[in-house]
Each structure stands twice: as C-alpha cells, then as structure tokens.
Amino acid sequence: MWSRCCNLDDGAARPWRGEMIAVPTGVRVLVATRPVDFRRGADSLAAVVREELRQNPFCGTIFVFRSKRADRLKLLAWDGSGLVLFWKRLEQGAFRWPPISDGVMRLSASQLAALIEGMDWSRLFAHDVARPLATS
C-alpha cells in the first residue's frame, strides 16, 4: 500500500490518512453476485447492469462488481454528469462476497463502506427502531 499521496494544492507529498469514501445513507447499493471480466470499463459495465441485471445504470444506484479472484472490486455509479468507475485491489487477503449466483444483492451504505475497507460487511446489521407515536 502506498504510504504517501500528493496534495493537489501545493504538490507536496503528505502522509495518506486512509479516509474512507463517504457513501450517503439511504443510497441504493446493488452487488452483482456473479464475477465479471475485470477488463470491462464503465460503458461495458453499464451494459451489464442494463442487460444482465435488468437495472438502469443511470439512476444513481451504486453497482458493485467482483473479480473471480475476489481480491478486486469495481463500483459503477451515475453522479448526474457522467459515469463514475471506482476500482480497488486488496494487497493481502480477499473481499468478503456473497455466494456466487445469478442476480443482485442489496447492501446498506455502511455495509458498502465496510466492504470497500476489506472488512466483513455481513456482520453489520441495522437495528429495528420503533417509530415514536408522539413527541414529548
């Protein structure tokens, strides 16, 4: 892993702090459970979303794709002005993935953040909170 990155303000190298990519709460996240060819780019993955997953790649949903080796992932999303493609490879170990099958699986924003960090996202659960009946 790189231990330094470039600060765009002055070009000086700064230590990388390991900040996570922030995923807004409530964003729809879908994982393609079958591995894809990782030579595919944004347009090709958008075609996979449309033709194989039967979803709209331009609706703001984050689509997650896995490699056969399970140590790489790609995220595809439409941000309103273009397709965004994020790629990550773990230097050690593998991402925790759902069983390989046809179709998609939904994740929460916090589960996606854990997945990107290489953590076991399947251990994160939302608590059911009763809706208040009245204000105090």
Quick check: is 60 in a domain? yes
Domains in the chain, number: 1
Q: Is residue 11 part of a domain?
A: no
Q: Is residue 91, in this structure, part of any structural domain at all?
A: yes
Q: Could you tell me if residue 26 is left (phi over 0), alpha (psi between -120 and 50 degrees) or otherwise beta? A: left
Vertex 22 angle, CA 16 and 25, to 5° = 160
pLDDT tens digits for 16-72?
A: 455 556 777 788 999 998 999 999 999 999 999 999 999 999 999 999 999 999 999
So what's the pLDDT on residue 13?
Answer: 52
- Domain enclosing residue 78, as ranges: 28-122
Q: Judge if pTM exceeds 0.85.
A: no
Read off the pLDDT band of 2 (50, 70, 90).
very low
Identify whether 40 is part of a domain: yes
Residues 58 and 83: their CA atoms lie apart, in Å, by: 8
pLDDT score for 136: 64
Asked if residue 71 is part of any domain, the answer here is yes
Q: Does residue 110 lie in a domain region?
A: yes
* Domain-embedded: residue 65: yes
User: Does 20 map to a domain?
Assistant: no
pLDDT tens-digit map of 93-136? 998 888 878 889 898 888 888 888 888 877 766 666 777 887 76
Residue with tokens 């909170």: 129
Distance between CA atoms of 114 and 89, rounded to whole angstroms?
14
Give the side-chain half-sphere CA count within 13 A for 76. Answer: 26
